[in-house]
Structure 1
Amino acid sequence: MKTLISADNTWALFAILVVVAALAIWMEQKYKWAGKVTGCVIALIGAMILSNIRVIPTDAPAYDFVWSYVVPLAVPLLLFNANVKKIWKESGRVLVIYLISGIGTLVGGIVAFYLLHNQIADLHKIAAMMVGSYTGGSVNMVAMSDAFGASGDMVSSSVVADNLLMALYFFVLIAIPTIKFFLKKFKHPYIDEVEARKASGESENQAASYWKAKPVALIDIAEALAIAFAIVAISTAIADFFAGLIPTSNFGLSLLNGLLGNKYLIMPTLTMLLATIKPEFMGNIGGAQEIGTFLIHIFFAVIGVPASIYLIVTQAPLLLVFCAIIVGMNMIVSFVFGKIFKFNLEEICIASNANIGGPTTAAALAIAKGWQAMVVPALLVGTLGYVIGNYYGIFIGTFLGR
């Protein structure tokens, strides 16, 4: 379909993506309602609107560049503080409910597959992408689509369904802490703390407060980008080596090939090792989280682009049902077992969000709600999803494919 800006006008498309991301961040920090929605969702919706009114195309080389280069660079930048020892020490409770929530995604993927595999071709590939995506965020979908050789049309339709369900679920998670039923059934100390601050007259925008200016030197930017580029390059080389070395003649070898031959598994693993071995050096590099978060906002704009309402209604309604089953199962498992094991409402919401949307959106929810003590756990446990999601996705895709 013809659009105002053509697919080959790369500079104009990049300008729009960056402006949408920047505008989303500005709105998140400027307006309280936008802070509650989160900048990531605003960027996604903004790009989705532009594509649906045909200002920008749904497919273009500029978007491929973001998937191929911007996303891999963002992953290590967001993991500079992913010290495994620190994750367990500071986020033990959230980590437990996060892992339980991830089991909900696994179960949902299997249930959805057996309900719909006769209606959707190559559903095991889509199951791998969705389970990977819903155990750490959309970044994992890229790895799973590459690992299982999903077609362009399959990836596009899956992204549309994924984005719509992800956005809807974000709104659900934003609303849950305000619903009386959940407030009566679960403990909610952080919500009580926010209400107490409001009663005392504090009304500062939480996103603006969290992302307030920090000292960043030129050497910080240089070190952050140098380390990130090096990790991506080394991870790609390692993954390519193992992908060519390990055969795929049986289930075990196929699984091993998919794990060790996947750069999206090697990248977070290497970064987490560095962050654990050299926590003081990696954790004190200023600007890494800010740069990585901005790049992820650009990524959210890109994944919003193919979310064509017309396409999902006419071509992929069953994929929407497939994704809804997985997300619904994740939610049910998260809240049922969260209640059984007496987790706080905030911990459950953050854990489920970290699975479905990844660390940045989970942290954004915590920031938007004013749950300051939950921001670091959200980022820490969510980053594990970049690794765990790929394991889960490859296992599900290989298991169901056979």
Structure 2
Amino acid sequence: MWGHIFNLKDPLVGADNTWALWTICIVGASAAIMLEQRYQWASKVTGALIALVLAVALSNFGIIPMESGVWDAVWDYVVPLSIPMLLMKCDIRRVGRDSGRILGIFLIGSVGTACGAMIGYGLLRQYIPELAKLAGVFTATYIGGAVNFTGVGKALGVSAGTMSSATMADNTMMAICFLVLMLIPSAGFFLKRFSHPLIDDIEAVKRSVGNGGEEEYEGAFARPREISLRDIALTVSAAFVIVSISFFMADMLGRVIPRSNSVLMMFNTLLGNDYIWLSTISMVCATVKPRFFGGIRGTEEIGTFLIYIFFFVIGVPASAPGIIQSPVLLLYAAIIVGVNMLFCLVAGKFLHYDLESIILASNANIGGPTTAAAMAVSKGWKSLIGPSILVGIIGYVLGTYMGLLVWGILEF
């Protein structure tokens, strides 16, 4: 029945129709931005969430495919280029304090992820095959990322069919998780119980606009900035140079540093990661040459647009038929994510952390540095972009070890 409603095997726009898919992706991101800047309701929901939901609808109703080289290109090229653009004004001296706050909640959330995996195992082990191994896989990915997901899956010898189902559940749950995390800052329940200085600052700007209606509202959030051809050239050139150097360093050190023991493996994972070099080099440039890089106009605008394209792509793999076909596996992923969020929120409340840091820490756990940074961008929390990336990268190092530890506890 679902094959007739969700025509996923033969979408209207084929996976090889590159230009059409790029057009849909770019136009979808642009439409989300225009709605967010034009209407107050869209601003509260955020354009990022609109882009994600639009992609979910298009993919699940058979308009666009869930797998395509276009979506891979966004992950491989668009996202890496956006990171230097967003960090060109991120002075390392201002990042340390915020990174420490997010890191504390992130580590607590990592424990929550592991606890959620074991709680879910206790509840569902009779219904899901290879669940002890999957507990390790999901722990790894909800502390680290896709690299940890694949690495632990291979290390534990999870069958191909089970990994395929787990991948579908993971993609769908991440999309649902981002929807929830994006909505939390707008919910009165959380706003009443947590401090939220960045949200307050943004609301203060909105109130300063006055009550002149939609046209006046638009002027506050779509203010034109003078950006010259030189600015565009420097933004794009600097981003390409930083990405090229970062990928070269990560690839070289990933091949040079052996993985013969746990210590060397940790250094290999850390220094062989693209995003640690992207973040480090970008922030070193911003710190050493603040006048030059800080004087380039348009870096945040172009980087933010690329991030909105990324949010569109995040929603593409979310599968409604997958929920119907593998509801128990999706429930297992939901238990892990739910316990992670609970740990982050309770610990954040107890430690008097602000809501923005708590949400980004949970996002960094579940989605990794790219999605955490993307959320910080979409919400306008510019001071937390760098810390979100740095904390998320630590998850790549911890994820594999925590995943194997959880598997070892459950198996033996």
2:257 corresponds in structure 1 to 246
> Within 2, Cα distance between the matches of 1:207 and 1:98?
32
Q: 2:171 aligns with which of 159, 177, 182?
A: 159
Which residue in 1 is equivalent to 2:394?
388
CA contact under 8 A between 1:104 and 1:329: conserved in structure 2? no
CA displacement at 1:388 relative to structure 2 = 3.0
Please give the secondary structure, in 1, of the residue aligned with 2:324.
helix
Correspondence for 1:13: 21
Where does the alignment leave 5 or more consecutive residues of structure 1 unmatched? 133-140, 368-374
User: 2 CA distance for matches of 1:78 and 1:71?
Assistant: 11
Q: 1:208 to 1:231 in 2, by over 3 A?
A: farther
Matched, 1:108 2:122: no
Spell out, residue by residue over 1:295-327, the C-alpha distance to the aligned partner (whole angstroms, 9 max, x if none): 11111111111101111331364245335433x
Describe the shift of the 1:131–1:221 C-alpha distance in structure 2 as closer, same or farther (beyond 3 A).
Answer: same
Deviation, 1:106, is 0.8
Q: For 1:379 and 1:63, how far apart are their aligned partners in 2? A: 23
The within-5 A match list for 1:12-161 is 12-88=20-96, 92=97, 94-116=98-120, 119=128, 120=131, 121-132=133-144, 141-144=145-148, 153=164, 154-161=166-173
* Identical aligned residues as a percent: 35
Q: Per-residue displacement from partner, 1:141-196 (whole Å, max 9, x unpaired)?
A: 35545766777835444222211122123223321xx23x752x445677777489
Q: Which shifted more, 301-310 or 155-164?
A: 155-164
SS of residue paired to 2:171:
helix
Counterpart position of 2:385: 379
Q: For 1:268, which of 279, 283, 299 is the aligned residue? A: 279
| Contact in 1 for aligned 2:112/2:340 (Cα 8 Å) | yes
Q: TM-score, normalised by structure 2?
A: 0.80
**Residue in structure 2 matching 1:336, options 322, 346, 352:** 346
Cα shift readout 1:195-249 (whole Å, capped 9, x = no counterpart): 8974994467878635522221111111111111112111111112122222222
Once the two structures are TM-superposed, the CA of residue 12 in structure 1 deviates from its matched residue by 0.4
CA distance in 2, matches of 1:304, 1:30: 23
Mapped partners of 2:250, 2:72: distance in 1:
20
- Gap change, CA 1:155 and 1:207, over 3 Å in 2: farther
- Asked whether 1:169 is paired with 2:187, we answer no
C-alpha RMSD over aligned residues: 3.2
Contact 1:51-1:58 within 8 A present in 2 as well: yes
- Normalising by structure 1, report the TM-score: 0.81
360, 378, 395: which one pairs with 1:364?
A: 378
Which 10-residue stretch deviates more, 352-361 or 285-294? Answer: 352-361
Q: Secondary structure at the match of 2:352?
A: coil
Q: Distance in 2 between matches of 1:347 and 1:123?
A: 27
1:98 CA drift (Å):
1.9
For residues 232-268 of structure 1, give each alpha carbon's deviation from its aligned partner in whole angstroms, at most 9, with x where no partner exists. 1111111121222222222222222211222122211
Going from structure 1 to structure 2, the CA distance change for 1:230 and 1:396 (only over 3 Å counts) comes to: farther
Match of 2:319 among 308, 311, 319: 308
Number of residue equivalences: 377
Cα distance between partner residues in 1 of 2:58 and 2:110: 34
Question: 2: distance between equivalents of 1:280 and 1:250?
Answer: 43
Cα distance change, pair 364–300 in 1 and its aligned pair in 2 (3 A): closer
Q: Shift of the alpha carbon at 1:19?
A: 0.6
Q: Are the counterparts in 2 of residues 354 and 378 from structure 1 also a CA contact under 8 Å?
A: no
DSSP 3-state at the match of 2:62? coil
CA deviations on 1:32-60 (whole Å, 9 max, x unpaired) are 11111111111110011001110111111
The CA distance in 2 between the partners of 1:30 and 1:289, in whole Å, is 19
Give the partner amino acid of 2:113: G
Q: What does 1:268-287 align with in structure 2 at a 5 Å threshold?
A: 268-287=279-298
Q: 2:336 maps to which residue?
A: 325
Greater mean alpha carbon deviation, residues 302-311 or residues 253-262: 253-262
Question: Shift in Å at residue 22 of structure 1?
Answer: 0.4
Q: Cα 1:78–1:182, aligned 2, differ >3 Å: closer, same or farther?
A: closer
The verdict on how the C-alpha distance between 1:255 and 1:332 changes in structure 2, with shifts beyond 3 A counting, is: same
1:398 CA drift (Å): 5.8
Q: What secondary structure sits across from 2:305 in the alignment?
A: helix
- Which residue is 2:241 aligned to? 230
Deviation at 1:380, TM superposition (A): 4.0
Q: What amino acid does structure 1 have at the position aligned with 2:389? A: T
Q: Is the 8 A contact 2:185 2:355 kept in 1?
A: no
C-alpha distance in 2 between matches for 1:192 and 1:212: 20
